Amino acid sequence: MKIGDLTLDTFKMAYVEAALWSSTDDKGVPLDKDHGPHEIAPETLAQMCEDCRKFQEANGALIAMDVVQAGHDFWLTRQNHGCGFWDGDWPEVIGEKLTEAAHAFGEFDLYVGDDGLIYH
């Protein structure tokens, strides 16, 4: 999918989708209820894509078995949600390595700005 100047591969799309459904606005409503990927501010989307690129580059061999699930789990794990790489969908040793790698990125909270765009 192409958004602005950025092309999102399946890993990045899964990451963005997980970010939108698991993040909420100031009323507690999941962002994906009223917003889509095209409403992420360009600089925020660029940073999300850069984080994904770095994660993919460093862990490509480990995530090759399921790139879509890896994108989803990268978001959930870095945000310390109740599921992610460590919850049993990945072989234990791989899940542990990917969890450590995702946590190294730190959390990346999203919010809706006054202009209706989503920012970090």
Structural domain boundaries, residue 6: 2-119
pLDDT confidence tier of residue 18, bands split at 50, 70 and 90: very high
What DSSP state is assigned to residue 82? S
Q: List pLDDT tens digits, range 64-117.
A: 999 999 999 999 999 999 899 999 889 999 999 999 999 999 999 999 999 999
CA distance 106 to 110: 13
Query: What pLDDT, on a 0 to 100 scale, did the predictor assign at position 118?
Result: 98
Using DSSP's 3-state secondary structure scheme, residue 55 falls into: helix
Instruction: Supply the DSSP symbol for 1.
Output: -
pTM: 0.95
Q: Give tens-digit pLDDT for 25-67.
A: 999 999 999 999 999 999 999 999 999 999 999 999 999 999 9
- Report the domain count for the chain: 1
